[in-house]
Structure 1
């Protein structure tokens, strides 16, 4: 799933863009200023910037220029400014596309698809649920954007559970897939101890879990 940061000082427009992108299969995040955009990008890697120029505390061009200097991060400008000099300045700063408002949403989506296709690479495979995310490529879990230190077994449990969301995962399945090919040499108490340790790391209240839940007599499930 591609992740897009929407940097737009019009809060209503920014939220509408986030909802539109989400409905079309993207993971979208909003920021209303250069300062908030920097904070967002520090805690949340993204695949594309959708950025306005006239932000409350600066010009989106400067933000684009700074990000281009640190990493290759595709950027599409979506702005009301249509002066030739400003457009050239944006491309010089590293923009991949420049669109002048208003733009039909269907057209915007096609420009986003084209830029992502041109810049190449597959998106990281990431699972999201409420404040929790699990990046399968980086083998990294985050709560509210903050990384959680996991052991290989704890990560393995989360991977199996999230890849089988809405299904009950039995203890035997976890033992076979996380510990060994048959689960023959691991006691169920080992799984129980590892799960309790994992819940303490990711659950707001381990006594009332919202992520890893017991299904009495059957096994475990992730979320609702």
Structure 2
């Protein structure tokens, strides 16, 4: 089992590397958020142990980057002990949260629990009313009719249907679909939504893509 440890305190990192290695794990260490990002994107790990306060990218930012492309279990190990910090970590996609100072025995128990779970299996099929998205075959149908979508249109629809009923801002959509920071002067999201609507909604009486003024877009069945 391979573990990525992203920890800027050298003594803590050395202590954890030694302990986890003696427990039978292969451990890679990064001392900054940017180094952690590079390792997480270039190599496959079974678990990531992540501090919050890191140079370069902080732990919150690094977790968001990781979650764009993978569901590797993530354990936050940090001195940030406020309830709102724990809630934020879990809402961003962490699987567990342990506060420093910590017991190594507890850390090891949590590591073993997360590794037993394994990564969650990604949902392969999405269905909303008469709209069906098949992720594996990369096919979309409405009322049994095959819809021809570009790669970006498919990615946009996948994002919307996987977050059914949730209002997504233009910034969230731009980040997830185009991996870009949203510029208010750029209408790339609005143009993409308009093109997607032309294929997914315009030929059908039931409209599924909705604009929430001043907030963003949502995919939902509305009365």
TM-score normalised per structure 2: 0.52
Q: Secondary structure of the equivalent of 1:95?
A: coil
Structure 2 counterpart of 1:152: none
Q: How do 1:98-177 and structure 2 match up within 5 A?
A: 98-119=97-118
Q: Secondary structure of the equivalent of 1:81?
A: coil
Structure 1 counterpart of 2:2: 3
Structure 2 counterpart of 1:59: 58
Q: Secondary structure of the equivalent of 1:94?
A: coil
Offset of 1:120 from its aligned partner? 5.4
Structure 2 counterpart of 1:172: none
Q: Secondary structure of the equivalent of 1:6?
A: strand
CA–CA separation in structure 2 for the residues paired with 1:46 and 1:96? 15
Does the CA contact (< 8 Å) of 1:87 and 1:98 recur in 2? yes
Structure 1 counterpart of 2:15: 16
Does the CA contact (< 8 Å) of 1:8 and 1:55 recur in 2? yes
CA–CA separation in structure 1 for the residues paired with 2:119 and 2:68? 19
Give 4+ residue runs of structure 1 displaced > 4 Å after superposition: none
Structure 2 counterpart of 1:38: 37
> Per-residue displacement from partner, 1:109-167 (whole Å, max 9, x unpaired)?
0000111112359xxxxxxxxxxxxxxxxxxxxxxxxxxxxxxxxxxxxxxxxxxxxxx
**CA RMSD, Structure 1 to Structure 2 (Å):** 1.4
Structure 1 counterpart of 2:46: 47
Does the CA contact (< 8 Å) of 1:77 and 1:98 recur in 2? yes
Note the residue ranges of structure 1 that are not aligned, 5 or more in a row.
Answer: 122-224
CA–CA separation in structure 2 for the residues paired with 1:71 and 1:80? 26
Q: Secondary structure of the equivalent of 1:72?
A: coil
Offset of 1:58 from its aligned partner? 2.8
> Per-residue displacement from partner, 1:37-70 (whole Å, max 9, x unpaired)?
1122233211111010000123201111211121
CA–CA separation in structure 2 for the residues paired with 1:47 and 1:71? 11
Does the CA contact (< 8 Å) of 1:62 and 1:93 recur in 2? no
